Structure 1
Amino acid sequence: CMGLITPALDLAAAKDADIVIEAVFERMDVKQEMFRKLDAIMKPGAILATNTSTLDVNAIAAATQRPQDVIGTHFFSPANVMRLLEVVRGAKTGKDVLATTLKLGKQIKKVPVVSGVCDGFIGNRMIEKYGQQSLFLLDEGCSPQQVDGAAQKWGLAMGPLTMGDMAGLDIGWEIRKRRYVERPNFAYSKLGDRICERGRYGQKTGKGWYRYALPDRKPIPDPEVDQIIADYRREIGVKPRQVSDQEIVERLIYALVNEGAYILEEGIALRASDIDMVYLTGYGFPAYRGGPMFYADTVGLDQVLAAIQGFQKGYMGEVWKPAPLLVKLAREGKRFNG
């Protein structure tokens, strides 16, 4: 396969390609500048794809004179291993471009799932709520290893804090900085910022939520992190409490489910099973649980709704706003899937 790759330093080398996939730094001005350049050199009819994980595909397309040829192709890291491919359909993306991109995804043995345009698309929009709860759990009294341990025992490939260390905590920090400007009312624990302010970006720096004895990737609990958490609790005036593993799992998974219901209602995802495929093939969700939306169906949507209503009365309860679709289906005794 490596023999099929021809490296080049000049963008013009790609001018006759049928599709070009951009993967520059995750910042709108950088993306738009690249697409202006691609628009100028690529042949007519070429597909201009962006690998953005959160940014507005419509805004990227608007930097070109051919928005009908622009589409999102969000590969998941590591791209040679992960099967998921989020195919992001822009407002002006042509049907032929969508069909060709879906066919290409299957040809390279990916599982393409169509998403509409929103901040984070399907997977990362949901995972933001999951990550939000993981930090609130630390605020309230959990240790990183308790949160991750409960998630793993439930069946996830790794817990949210280990996942953050693997992906790079500075990426989430950059997104939060953008959020603070764009959505100043969005509630976050500042614990993640405190960790990053110490230069703890995860595995790549040898320390994040855990310590790493590189090249070994095994997370080691770090007393320095325990101290950062304890100091932050004092700063915000929170007295730590005992949190059960059941509560940890419910808050993490139901945060996914509730945001998934919003995504369905808005038409960002076409069906609940598409959301499930995103999590089964891109986020290490246990296959035997069937994906977050299917799992919610097995629990019973009335039970999921009741738990969320209980969380509304707890710490940072204002972030729990039951999706109208979840409320409706729960009252009617129906399911997300069929």
Structure 2
Amino acid sequence: MSGEALRHIAEAEVKAREVDGIGPDVPTRPIDRVGVVGAGTMGGGIAMTFLNAGIPVTIVEREEAALDRGMRVMRNNYERSAARGKLTAGQVEERMGLLSPALDLAALSGCDLVIEAVFEDLALKKQVFAELDRLARPGAILATNTSYLDVNAIAAATSRPQDVLGMHYFSPANVMRLLEIVRGAKTAPDVLKTAIEVGVRTGKVPVVAGVCHGFIGNRMLAKRQQAAHALLMEGAMPWEVDRVLTDFGFPMGPFQMSDLAGLDIGWSRERSRGETIRDRLCEMDRRGQKTGAGFYDYDADRNRTPSPVVEELIRAFVAEKGGTPREHSAAEMRDRLLMPMVEEGKAILAEGIAQRASDIDVVWVNGYGWPRATGGIMYWAGVR
């Protein structure tokens, strides 16, 4: 199957650029300078994506320390590439020379495209877009890098919702190929087409999604996370669940992924009531790779090993909550993890959030590590 599946996904990546009703007669807007709001991990990665394509970038942060840190991280990334022989010293300077750091959003007034990459908070994003509406030049495209939030609500904070859309990059943004482009209810056809072209020009694989919580990829991922935690409540261990997916061909399983991202994303000690296994791990300061312990134990080189502490914690938690531990076969665990995602993919298609099943394949192969040799999640499940 793999030859046919590989052909399918290669064709799907090209097909994903085509959007019904947006033909060759729809013009695109020139993008000669890009603005990025936020110089953290995501903002810096997005900026590098454009610098790598020779496009000048203005990057804005509120505080000098954060801006300096972001600039330093980008330079270090380029210098590491140069040390590995992937860039020359001249190319490093050339790329950094295209970057203009600033502490005021007014510096973005000359940009043709502005991408917001601030904290995932709707009120904050709306505030940023209201300011961008005031400062950005007429005809500039305003994009949000939100992973989950309502792009229409963000667009409504401006007087130009036709110029607003989502451009959801995946971390690290300068490496990951997927660009999930979220079409708002009022996004103009030329804005959507320009965003797709920008994706292709910067070496990304663009896929268009409609507005809903989590769009295509994260909406389906949530179903897998629910299933993974349900398995823990039946006595499965995180490393057993992860192994099922790595054996299937994923680079990592859901609990490895959580440890890598940090278990404390969205968690706060003040509000925590120990209601989930994650809460209890965070309360123990087991917050993932960065603290040397999460669902797994990590050594100094971040090599993971199954944790007896976590095993004991899960067994106690399951007993406390009245769960019933039992044995699971690998095949049962695989179906429990993957089939809810397939069903959610079907719902996404039925609702018109994705234009075609193969677009969902492109999202999962390029953004989430779904094994390419299977052709993608919907192709694997026989949904065409």
TM range, normalised to the smaller chain? 0.7 to 0.9
1:150, distance to aligned residue in structure 2 (A): 1.2
Q: In the alignment, which of 118, 131, 134 is matched to residue 225 of structure 2? A: 131
**RMSD (Å), alpha carbons:** 1.5
The answer to which of 223-232 and 103-112 deviates more is 223-232
**Alpha-carbon distance in structure 1 between the residues aligned to 2:266 and 2:224:** 13
Matched, 1:171 2:265: yes
Matched residue, 2:239: 145
Q: Secondary structure at the match of 1:199?
A: coil
Letter of the 2:291 partner, please give it: T
Q: Does 1:94 align with 2:188?
A: yes
Q: Which residue of 1 aligns with 2:212?
A: 118
Separation (CA, whole Å) in 1 of partners of 2:109 and 2:291: 38
- Post-superposition Cα deviations, 1:216-249, rounded to whole Å, max 9, x if no partner, equal 2222222221122111111111231111111111
Distance of 1:129 and 1:200 partners within structure 2:
24
- For the residues of structure 2 that align with 1:245 and 1:120, how far apart are their CA atoms? 28
The 5 Å alignment of 1:200-279 reads 200-214=286-300, 216-279=301-364
Please give the secondary structure, in 1, of the residue aligned with 2:179. strand
Does 2:286 match 1:192?
A: no
The whole-number CA distance in structure 1 between the counterparts of 2:120 and 2:243 is 31
CA distance in 2, matches of 1:267, 1:171: 30
Q: Residue in 2 aligned with 1:38?
A: 132
Distance 2:267 2:250 in 1: 23
Gap runs ≥5 in structure 2: 1-94
Q: Secondary structure at the match of 2:315?
A: helix
Any idea what the Cα deviations from partners look like across 1:285-314, whole Å, max 9, x if unmatched? 1111111111101xxxxxxxxxxxxxxxxx
Amino acid at match of 1:225: V
Say yes or no: does 1:292 pair with 2:377.
Answer: yes
User: Bigger shift: 237-246 or 48-57?
Assistant: 237-246
- C-alpha deviation, 1:254, in angstroms: 0.7
How many angstroms does 1:16 deviate by? 0.7
Check the 8 A contact 1:135/1:192 in 2, yes or no: no
Provide the C-alpha distance between the structure 1 equivalents of 2:285 and 2:215, rounded to a whole number of angstroms. 29
Q: Aligned partner of 2:282: which letter?
A: C
Higher mean Cα deviation, 2-11 or 47-56? 2-11
TM-score, normalised to structure 2, is: 0.72
Q: Where do 5+ consecutive residues of structure 1 fail to align?
A: 178-188, 298-335
Using the TM superposition, give the Cα deviation of residue 173 of structure 1 relative to its aligned residue in structure 2, in angstroms. Answer: 4.9
Provide closer, same or farther for how the CA distance between residues 54 and 73 of structure 1 changes in structure 2, counting only shifts above 3 A.
same
In structure 1, what is the Cα distance between the partners aligned to 2:222 and 2:283?
20
Letter in 2 for 1:23: A
d(CA) in 2 for partners of 1:3 and 1:198? 44
Give secondary structure in 1 for the equivalent of 2:296: coil
Query: Using a 3 Å threshold, how does the CA distance of structure 1 residues 135 and 172 change in structure 2: closer, same or farther?
Result: farther
The 1-side partners of 2:280 and 2:347 are apart by 30
Percentage of identical aligned residues? 56
TM (norm. structure 1) is 0.81
Letter in 2 for 1:240: P
Q: Distance in 2 between matches of 1:75 and 1:205?
A: 26
1:319 is matched with which residue? none
Matched positions, count? 285
Distance 2:288 2:96 in 1: 30
* 1:199 shift after superposition: 3.1
Match of 2:176 among 82, 90, 97: 82
Cα distance between partner residues in 1 of 2:134 and 2:253: 44
Q: Secondary structure at the match of 2:206?
A: strand
**Equivalent of 1:20 in 97, 114, 119:** 114
- Helix, strand or coil at the partner of 1:220: strand
| 1:171, distance to aligned residue in structure 2 (A) | 2.7
For 1:196 and 1:117, locate their aligned partners in 2 and report how far apart those are by CA, in whole Å: 32
Cα deviation 1:262-290 (Å, max 9, x = unaligned): 10010000000000000000101111111
